Amino acid sequence: MPATITEKSLNVRLPLELAVQLEELTKATGRTKSFLTVEALREYLQVQAWQVQDIKDGLAEADRGEFATEEEVTNFFAKYGC
């Protein structure tokens, strides 16, 4: 029976400055480069997924014709001084 694959390798070329920072962080935390890289990528992807979903939700609202009225927009900018 074949083993289940739970991980996949990824080779990445890092700018020297970023590689140095990663090395320093591994020494300071006792974590591996792989651990720190996976954690950083996981956090980045979560933020990007949230932003993409928010944009999709906004487009769906626009497709349904759900827009702020001119008065609501004016009040918003008056309140926040934009």
DSSP 8-state code for residue 65: T
pTM check: above 0.75: no
Q: Domain residue spans in the chain?
A: 42-82
- pLDDT, position 5: 85
pLDDT tens digits for range 21-47: 999 999 999 999 999 999 999 999 999
pLDDT tens digits for range 39-82: 999 999 999 999 999 999 999 998 998 988 899 999 999 999 76
First to last CA, the chain: 64
DSSP 8-state code for residue 3: P
DSSP 8-state code for residue 81: T
Determine the Cα–Cα distance for residues 19 and 26; give it in Å rounded to an integer: 11
Q: Is 37 exposed, middle or buried (0-12, 13-18, 19+ CB in 10 A)?
A: middle
